[in-house]
Structure 1
Amino acid sequence: MKFKLHIRQTLEKLLAQEDTDGDKKITIDDKGPKSFTIEAENGNAVTIEGTYHLSNLLQELALAKKNNTEFAEINITEITENPVERISRKIKNLYWNGLTRTIDAVGVKKILEDDKIENAVSYLYVPFGDEIVFDYFKKLEVENSTLKVIQLPKNITPEYVLSLNEKPGILALALQIKNNQISGVPFVVPGGRFNEMYGWDSYFIAQGLLIDDKIDLALGIAENFKYQIDHYGKILNANRSYYLTRTQPPLYTSLIRAIIEKSNPEIFWVERHLKTAIKEYQTVWMEEGKRLTSNGLNRYKAEGIGIPFEVEEGHFDDILEQFAPKYNLSTREFEKKYLKREIVDTALDNYFTHDRSMRESGHDTSNRLVDICANLNTVAINSLLYKYETDIAFLIETLFNKEFHYDEHVSYSSDYWQTKALSRKEKINNLCWNEAKGIYFDYNFVTEEQHIFEAATTFYPLWAKISTPEQAEILVKKTLPKFKMKGGIAGSTKESIASLDKNSPTRQWDYPFGWAPHQMLLWEGLLHYNFIEETQEMVYRWLWLITRNAVDYNGTIPEKFDLEINSHKIFAEYGNVGTEFNYITEEGFGWMNASYQYGLTLLNDQFKQKLSELIDPDTLF
């Protein structure tokens, strides 16, 4: 049934009655009657009742309003739609579009409007040697008076990157030619406030894109990964000037395999990307003394100088306050002199080396990694690199007849990569597995002992297929319950942060916060070891939380959840992206969207039905 409604009048009347807290949403926090009657021009009327249905009406009116028409037909079936189907449909048909960006003549407008940078001029940096891209953007500079295009030098040093903090900007990504027109290769940002492509977010986003048949967007992510490695030397934390010294968790080969399984690209495509993945593996991860340590395992080790540029003012006050008295300065005066390198303090520099490395890990921030990250062979990075080695071996064996010609001088056999993987697997299990506690810990190669902190990264070896069947049984039966909460697994156990000072900052990757990548890697890991019932339970718990939150809070799909209160209302650093919008979210949040779509492919029909009825998981499991 469709109702033709006067958009503005209906919207105003609905908000006046139901949005009692004035946040331009209809949620369970509002105290309206939760009953609203709409009338069509022909005299038909229908009463919409309940928070969920009323918020759906608000969302559909908001979408209709964007068409700049006075009247619109509102489909009642969309107002009363099953919440699981509605969320999934919105992700596929609306949210991915809202998160898609390009850096080109069309997309540059978004860059110029960027609210992260307050400079009067918007800087766009182009890599050394890519003259086609440089010429393209210099022409755009002529057309945009507030755009300044700068070509980076051949050798980018930490000192040079520090100097760019005076004029921070976006880094160019790949261009393509279609129908004789140059355009930017599209990418998908994590959330609506972002205009840059983030490293490990993009892999999880790509999983959702592939499920939703957005093949071109997933291919675009792969092309932009390749461009970053070829031109910036690494897959960047994100394509902003202040991230030039920092990479992200390596998931490129996992993306290559996912694309192959979904779209069966030409062998030339696989060859191009496999060569670049091997290049990244060798130059980013396997250079000894940097991210490769003497024991043969890896660490995160970002370069850079001083305070990470992206943090908000005051973020590091608890640290700076410890150093300022040493120089008889106030915290703000000390910070200013330290930023300008008028003061150089080795101990503080070391702290920020660990901090940038922690941000490189993707877990920004966690008490597990604060002031120690660069000293750790983390379970996460070594599981991911083991996956790289087995992925490369698999691709060479299955697609290149066990021998891959990397260049005119070098060929690799699949056995070569399998041997490397087996060596890494043995080291991970020797150094990181704690038999007594039944958990994987990071290994401190400086003190030569395990770093005791119970983190969700203990499940990465299940995803990478590192664990023995016996280890997997222990992880699932003994360790998983420590992390499991009503809405999924937390970033750490409560016990792991119990000894912290009560005034310590609340770190968003620790207990009680739940994140999509941890859930997705866990689900896949459980399936690898045939824990079917446990997979169903953990998928259900997470999807229930997303669905419950969206139903109660006007369709909100946030960056993360507080699993202690099962809410998107986060009281931790950086807040919660994806929760601030008027009337309707048109983006959701990238990896949260992906986790929903992925989870639905795993959940059986029985649990999908219970999910649509919002059955509490604690009554089921």
Structure 2
Amino acid sequence: MNMIKAETCEKGPVIPTTPLVIFLEKVQETALQVYGHKGFDPKQFVDMSLRQNIEATVEAFDKIPRTVNGSVLKNDLDGFIGKYLGGADEDLVYVEPVDYVAEPEGFLPKVKNTEVRAWALEVHSLWKNLSRKVSDHVLEKPELYTLLPLKNPVIIPGSRFREVYYWDSYWMIRGLLASKMYETAKGVVTNLISLTDQFGYVLNGARAYYIAIHIFSQPPVLAAMIVDIYNRTGDLDLVRRCLPALLKEHHFWNSGIHIVTIQDAQGSTHCLSRYYAMWNKPRPESSTIDRRTASKLPNICEKREFYRDLASAAESGWDFSSRWMRNESDLATTTTTSIIPVDLNAFLLKMELDIAFLANLIGESSVVTQFTEASQNRQRAMNCIFWNAEMGQWLDYWLDSSNKSEDIYKWEDLHQNKKSFASNFVPLWTQLFSSVVDDITTQRVVQSLRSSGLLQSAGIAMTLSNTGQQWDFPNGWPPLQHMIIEGLARSGLQEARTLAKDIAIRWIRTNYVAYKKTGAMYEKYDVTRCGAAGGGGVYVAQTGFGWTNGVVLALLEEFGWPEDLNIDCY
């Protein structure tokens, strides 16, 4: 497989940084020098707020005494932060969800085991812990905060993630729907729609540094949220309000630098999408770490390419993984923008199918026609470019500029990434798998998943490479478990449905056992050990945890838990 670097370090517009974020990055860099790397979380500093205006705060910061070598003493920095900066958790305040009840009517009717049911109710109660609203201070003086002033209450992931995140919200909504918290779920979507109305896409997270710094989103699942809420509530007014925003988001992912044209082996051309952040500097929430990683690169052009590819990997949600690297042992070889990813295009296929469904509900026939055709085109493209019959998987495709003419890449088998990733099976989640793939192909995909090495005793691993990155082996993440399980469960093949239930049991069990040991739900788990939290990456395992809670509740609603089935590790 010929893996190449991005073609130019200056491609794509860059949005200027806001003074507030520039200043907080400066505080972050100073804090690293003072406090050291151990236990240091750079995000904490760009999430802080100002107690006075930016001019007065910068002036005070510049007056902090410096030693001969220009460094700041710990007591002086502590004093400045205490006087001039607000804590990273002061911009959101707790709010009781309007539709929370301790045990909703009709809650998880398939869960018969009393231990599991008691635990599920505890997980359900965590929605109260994660519910917030934007502080009145943010609404009154937004220029002092990096948090964006969203109108409705929010559900945060937990721990260091104190703001709304895009794709996290989908699985939180699935859990909220299982908890019968329909108004809270609608509020979450309404917040995301407001971001799309304002910016043309849903931000990665609801912070100023996600708009003024590196323009990028996250896996596009907004349409799926609206479909799932409609299927529970029948709310056509919500559909009418949301459709224009969905059209904007679709345009964001299907225009400009996100679009790649590729010619298949038969000479037909197809358009597919890639992750591509419009940013070529360190990410503010991780500036000190990004700079340290880039320091080994020889020149500014390569550093800028790396920063863009790093932000693009964050846009994918897989930050970070050997999936994006030319050399899986070296994060500095991340080359996300040179990859056409299977999962992004599966998300977009589902978006197109969902938009057509929603438009049909409200009589927008021209939109139905447009997006039905778009979904058919993408389905053909995915089968031609990604599908590998020998492996029984859809495979990421690496772009090679030497095999390009007039902005059209020519497909070659050698550019498919032949490694097994959990993302190779995300098309299971769309109708591509459940409605058009024959039983023989379905069986091949099921066999491929079973034999891939990804399926472990406690769930599905993201990759087979143990690199120390958090989206690599042995970690399993809730969204991928849920999408693959749900796709298998919808199949017409009994073998696929049986496998879906088996994986669901493994995943529910490891969540339960970890909770009983620690009292926490984790953002990720080690799928080789039942009840073990995941690790790797640049921060410790986070608890809370929004999408983990949502996936467990959704799986328990779908599959239940029989009274006589053992819940403890074997």
The alignment's TM-score, normalised by the length of structure 1, stands at 0.64
Pairwise mapping of residues 548-563 of structure 1 onto structure 2 (< 5 A)? 548-553=513-518, 555-563=519-527
Deviations 1:10-67 (A, max 9, x none): xxxxxxxxxxxxxxxxxxxxxxxxxxxxxxxxxxxxxxxxxxxxxxxxxxxxxxxxxx
Pairwise mapping of residues 54-65 of structure 1 onto structure 2 (< 5 A)? none
Pairwise mapping of residues 116-127 of structure 1 onto structure 2 (< 5 A)? none
In the alignment, structure 1 residue 420 sits paired with structure 2 residue 374: yes
Distance 1:516 1:260 in 2: 23
Question: Which residue in the other structure is 1:388 paired with?
Answer: 351
Counterparts in 2 of 1:525 and 1:569: CA distance versus 1, 3 Å: closer
Deviation at 1:204, TM superposition (A): 0.7
Deviation at 1:567, TM superposition (A): 4.6
Look up the equivalent residue of 1:203 and give its one-letter code: Y
Deviation at 1:315, TM superposition (A): 5.3
Deviation at 1:233, TM superposition (A): 2.4
Counterparts in 2 of 1:574 and 1:90: CA distance versus 1, 3 Å: farther
Distance 1:605 1:593 in 2: 16
Look up the equivalent residue of 2:372 and give its one-letter code: Q
Pairwise mapping of residues 196-207 of structure 1 onto structure 2 (< 5 A)? 196-207=163-174
- RCO (CA 8 Å, sep 6+): is it higher in 1 or 2? 2
In the alignment, structure 1 residue 292 sits paired with structure 2 residue 259: yes
Question: Which residue in the other structure is 1:98 paired with?
Answer: 129
Question: Which residue in the other structure is 2:225 paired with?
Answer: 255
Match of 1:594 among 550, 553, 570: 550
Look up the equivalent residue of 1:548 and give its one-letter code: V
Question: Which residue in the other structure is 1:169 paired with?
Answer: 146
Q: Confirm or deny: 8 A CA contact 2:203 2:216 kept in the other structure.
A: yes
Look up the equivalent residue of 1:230 and give its one-letter code: D
Distance 1:433 1:364 in 2: 25
In the alignment, structure 1 residue 564 sits paired with structure 2 residue 533: no
Distance 2:566 2:514 in 1: 12
Question: Which residue in the other structure is 1:212 paired with?
Answer: 179
Match of 1:458 among 401, 424, 427: 424
CA-based RMSD of the aligned residues comes to: 2.1
Deviation at 1:520, TM superposition (A): 0.6
Question: Which residue in the other structure is 2:322 paired with?
Answer: 367
Look up the equivalent residue of 2:335 and give its one-letter code: I
Counterparts in 2 of 1:601 and 1:277: CA distance versus 1, 3 Å: same
Deviation at 1:251, TM superposition (A): 0.3
Q: Confirm or deny: 8 A CA contact 2:132 2:154 kept in the other structure.
A: yes
Question: Which residue in the other structure is 2:241 paired with?
Answer: 272
Counterparts in 2 of 1:374 and 1:208: CA distance versus 1, 3 Å: same
| Counterpart secondary structure, 1:297 | strand
Q: Confirm or deny: 8 A CA contact 1:568 1:576 kept in the other structure.
A: no
Pairwise mapping of residues 308-457 of structure 1 onto structure 2 (< 5 A)? 308-311=283-286, 313-314=288-289, 317-323=292-298, 345-370=300-325, 371-397=334-360, 399-401=361-363, 403-404=364-365, 412-446=366-400, 448=411, 449-457=415-423
Q: Confirm or deny: 8 A CA contact 2:322 2:469 kept in the other structure.
A: yes
Distance 2:502 2:337 in 1: 36
Distance 1:83 1:551 in 2: 11
Deviations 1:425-449 (A, max 9, x none): 1110111111122211111233542
Distance 1:248 1:357 in 2: 9
Look up the equivalent residue of 2:522 and give its one-letter code: P
From the CA coordinates, give the structure whose radius of gyration is larger.
1
| Counterpart secondary structure, 2:288 | coil
Question: Which residue in the other structure is 1:489 paired with?
Answer: 460
Q: Confirm or deny: 8 A CA contact 1:559 1:576 kept in the other structure.
A: no
Counterparts in 2 of 1:465 and 1:91: CA distance versus 1, 3 Å: same
Look up the equivalent residue of 1:442 and give its one-letter code: D
In the alignment, structure 1 residue 537 sits paired with structure 2 residue 537: no
Pairwise mapping of residues 89-238 of structure 1 onto structure 2 (< 5 A)? 89-93=121-125, 95-105=126-136, 108=137, 137=139, 140-141=140-141, 149-150=142-143, 169-173=146-150, 175=151, 185-238=152-205
Deviation at 1:589, TM superposition (A): 0.6
Look up the equivalent residue of 2:231 and give its one-letter code: E
Deviations 1:146-176 (A, max 9, x none): xxx33xxxxxxxxxxxxxxxx8711222x2x
Moved more, 468-477 or 434-443: 468-477
Deviations 1:542-593 (A, max 9, x none): 001011111222x2211111123335444411344445xxxxxxxx311110
| Counterpart secondary structure, 2:324 | coil
Deviation at 1:479, TM superposition (A): 2.4
Distance 1:218 1:279 in 2: 21
In the alignment, structure 1 residue 476 sits paired with structure 2 residue 446: yes
Structure 2 unaligned spans of 5+: 1-112, 263-270, 326-333, 402-410
Question: Which residue in the other structure is 1:84 paired with?
Answer: 116
| Counterpart secondary structure, 1:415 | helix
Distance 1:271 1:358 in 2: 33
Distance 2:274 2:367 in 1: 26
Q: Confirm or deny: 8 A CA contact 1:456 1:489 kept in the other structure.
A: yes
Deviation at 1:423, TM superposition (A): 0.8
Counterparts in 2 of 1:268 and 1:603: CA distance versus 1, 3 Å: closer
Question: Which residue in the other structure is 2:565 paired with?
Answer: 610
Look up the equivalent residue of 2:478 and give its one-letter code: A
Counterparts in 2 of 1:570 and 1:489: CA distance versus 1, 3 Å: closer
Q: Confirm or deny: 8 A CA contact 1:91 1:593 kept in the other structure.
A: yes
| Counterpart secondary structure, 2:229 | helix
Distance 1:304 1:486 in 2: 40
Structure 1 unaligned spans of 5+: 1-80, 109-123, 125-136, 142-148, 151-166, 176-184, 327-344, 405-411, 499-504, 580-587, 617-621
Counterparts in 2 of 1:314 and 1:277: CA distance versus 1, 3 Å: closer
| Counterpart secondary structure, 1:101 | strand
Deviations 1:374-419 (A, max 9, x none): 111110110010001111112223x134x34xxxxxxx24232111
| Counterpart secondary structure, 1:559 | coil
The alignment's TM-score, normalised by the length of structure 2, stands at 0.70
Look up the equivalent residue of 2:189 and give its one-letter code: A
Distance 2:120 2:554 in 1: 10
| Identity of matched residues, % | 25
| Counterpart secondary structure, 2:284 | coil
Distance 2:322 2:178 in 1: 34
Counterparts in 2 of 1:532 and 1:479: CA distance versus 1, 3 Å: closer
Deviation at 1:203, TM superposition (A): 0.7
Question: Which residue in the other structure is 2:63 paired with?
Answer: none
Distance 1:536 1:571 in 2: 26
Distance 2:170 2:244 in 1: 18
Deviation at 1:615, TM superposition (A): 5.4
Counterparts in 2 of 1:615 and 1:169: CA distance versus 1, 3 Å: closer
Distance 2:336 2:292 in 1: 20
Counterparts in 2 of 1:169 and 1:413: CA distance versus 1, 3 Å: closer
Q: Confirm or deny: 8 A CA contact 2:163 2:206 kept in the other structure.
A: yes
Q: Confirm or deny: 8 A CA contact 1:463 1:521 kept in the other structure.
A: yes
Q: Confirm or deny: 8 A CA contact 1:192 1:578 kept in the other structure.
A: yes
Question: Which residue in the other structure is 2:44 paired with?
Answer: none
Distance 2:419 2:208 in 1: 33
Deviations 1:68-109 (A, max 9, x none): xxxxxxxxxxxxx9441222111222x10111111142xx5x
